[in-house]
């Protein structure tokens, strides 16, 4: 076999097509890896930048976070810390409680609205306190004396109102020391209620007591002048003398002095004290009058044949009083101590004669009254003088007849 025909003896030629593809694939892979790395780096850079920006924003957002503070519906300031405003309000409430010695209840509360503000926009604590104080509205938590649904007195002390009620009862209890008191109370529905109310309604205990005792009626007065008495004053103002006596129990009706002030109205208490008690007492029992008739006596004549005598009975009664005045009495037991003796009166039935005196006088004649009954010329003048022309008719003034005329004078005898 020739040399040229032996494949093994032929020189080898490199396979350039296959190696080129491999190199191109490797280059592409290298480029892709570099691109991915850059992309990754860029992404990481963007993430870092984003995180930094968000962090800066968050820090700024937190640093500028604040609250608009409202008291009720009024804006009073801007703060970063809500608790500061609440502490200021609590201190203001405590100051009011100490100042008025009362339990102060604020009408409004604090409200907060989230916002963002620079430090220059914030309100100082002193300014916030002043703003809240200027808008404060508050009530007192205290006690009210309620009578038949009407509020009569306000106090920050329940004990003070209870003492007022006891003071109202006291005069009527002192009157009844000797009696067996069954019950003491009030006619009206009286109660003490815990309630919130404006501070200016609180009154002194003495003022509340006086208002309850005298009522809302205005008390008019009259100053006594020369010659005046309760009777003349009552006539001037067209009021009852009895009412004036009751309204002026501190004065002696018979001994008024010039300049004394007389109350013209009777104060009507707004609370009525009811005292129910057992009372033991004795009372006179009137005797009856029986009449007997006598034909021998004139109609105008009568005489006592048997003098009457009052009886006496002992009673045990259940008595109800309103402000010291008896309004009801229930007799529980009665015991006769002494029976009454009837009085017997004898009455005449005989007709009177025409000349009999009746006690009804007429003018005996027509004329002028020249002298009255009484002192005359240092002596007592027992009669009256009537001047009339001579011959004027003269009649008896009552049952009787004219018996003698002397120098213009006449005497009339029965």
CB 288 within 8 A of CB 268: no
Q: What is the pLDDT of residues 379-394, one digit of tens each?
A: 888 878 888 888 788 8
Element containing residue 58 per DSSP (H, E): helix 16-63
Collapsing DSSP states into helix, strand and coil, what is residue 107? coil
Q: Are 367 and 386 in contact (CB under 8 A)?
A: yes
Nearest partner of 267 among 246, 239, 251, 253, judged by Cα: 246
Q: How many residues does the chain have?
A: 414
Choice among 140-154, 174-188, 246-260 with the minimum mean pLDDT: 174-188
Dump pLDDT digits (tens) for 185-244: 999 999 999 999 988 898 889 999 989 988 755 567 889 888 888 888 888 887 888 888
SS (H, E, C) 302-337: EEEEECCECEEEEEEEEEEEECCEEEEEEEEEEEEE
What pLDDT is attached to residue 335? Answer: 94
Residue 409 has pLDDT above 60, yes or no: no
Instruction: Record the pTM.
Output: 0.53
Residues 39-80 have pLDDT tens digits of 777 787 877 787 777 777 666 667 888 899 999 999 999 998
Instruction: Kindly tell me if the per-residue pLDDT of 14 is higher than 60.
Output: no
Nearest to 227 by CA among 184, 256, 193: 256
Domains for the chain: give ranges and CATH numbers. 65-136 (no CATH), 143-263 (3.10.350.10), 275-350 (2.20.230.10), 368-413 (no CATH)
Q: Write the burial class of residue 375 (CB in 10 Å: 0-12 exposed, 13-18 middle, 19+ buried).
A: exposed
Segment 283-325, tens digit of pLDDT: 999 999 999 999 999 888 899 999 999 999 999 999 999 988 8
- Which range (78-92, 182-196, 266-280) has the least confidence? 266-280
pLDDT of residue 219: 66
Q: CB–CB of 143/174 below 8 Å?
A: no
Helix (H) or strand (E) holding 411: strand 409-413
Q: Which of 203, 196, 188 is nearest to 153 (CA)?
A: 203
Residue 245 burial (C-beta neighbours within 10 Å; 0-12, 13-18, 19+): middle
Q: Are strands 385-387 and 401-406 parallel, antiparallel or unpaired?
A: unpaired
């Amino acid at each position: 076999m020739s040399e040229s025909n032996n494949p093994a003896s032929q020189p080898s030629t490199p396979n350039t097509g296959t190696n080129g593809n491999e190199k191109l694939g490797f280059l592409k892979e290298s480029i892709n890896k570099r691109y991915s790395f850059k992309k990754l780096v860029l992404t990481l850079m963007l993430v870092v930048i984003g995180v930094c920006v968000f962090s800066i924003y968050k820090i700024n957002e937190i640093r500028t976070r604040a609250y608009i503070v409202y008291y009720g519906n009024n804006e009073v300031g801007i703060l970063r810390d809500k608790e500061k405003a609440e502490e200021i309000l609590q201190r203001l409430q405590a100051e009011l409680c100490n100042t008025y010695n009362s339990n102060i209840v604020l009408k409004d509360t604090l409200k907060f609205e989230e916002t963002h503000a620079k430090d220059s926009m914030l309100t100082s604590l002193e300014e916030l306190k002043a703003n809240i104080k200027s808008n404060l509205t508050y009530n007192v938590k205290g006690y009210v004396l309620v009578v038949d649904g009407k509020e009569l007195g306000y106090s920050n002390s329940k004990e003070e109102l209870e003492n007022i009620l006891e003071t109202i009862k006291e005069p009527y209890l002192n009157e009844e020391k000797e009696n067996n008191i069954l019950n003491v109370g009030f006619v009206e529905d009286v109660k003490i209620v815990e309630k919130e109310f404006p501070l200016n309604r609180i009154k002194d205990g003495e003022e509340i007591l006086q208002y309850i005792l005298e009522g809302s009626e205005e008390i008019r007065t009259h100053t006594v002048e020369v010659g005046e008495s309760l009777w003349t004053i009552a006539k001037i103002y067209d009021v009852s003398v009895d009412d004036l006596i009751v309204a002026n129990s501190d004065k002696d009706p018979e001994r008024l002095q010039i300049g004394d002030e007389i109350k013209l109205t009777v104060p009507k208490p707004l609370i009525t004290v009811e005292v129910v008690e057992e009372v033991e007492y004795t009372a006179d029992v009137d005797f009856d009058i029986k009449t007997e008739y006598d034909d021998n006596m004139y109609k105008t004549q009568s005489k006592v044949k048997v003098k009457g005598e009052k009886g006496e009975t002992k009673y045990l009664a259940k008595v109800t009083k309103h402000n010291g005045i008896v309004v009801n009495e229930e007799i529980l037991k009665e015991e006769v101590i002494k029976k009454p003796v009837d009085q017997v009166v004898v009455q005449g039935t005989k007709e009177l004669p025409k000349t009999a005196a009746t006690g009804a006088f007429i003018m005996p004649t027509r004329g002028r009254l020249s002298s009255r009954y009484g002192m005359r010329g240092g002596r007592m003048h027992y009669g009256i003088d009537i001047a009339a022309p001579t011959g004027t008719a003269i009649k008896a003034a009552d049952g009787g007849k004219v018996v003698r005329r002397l120098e213009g004078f006449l005497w009339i005898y029965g």
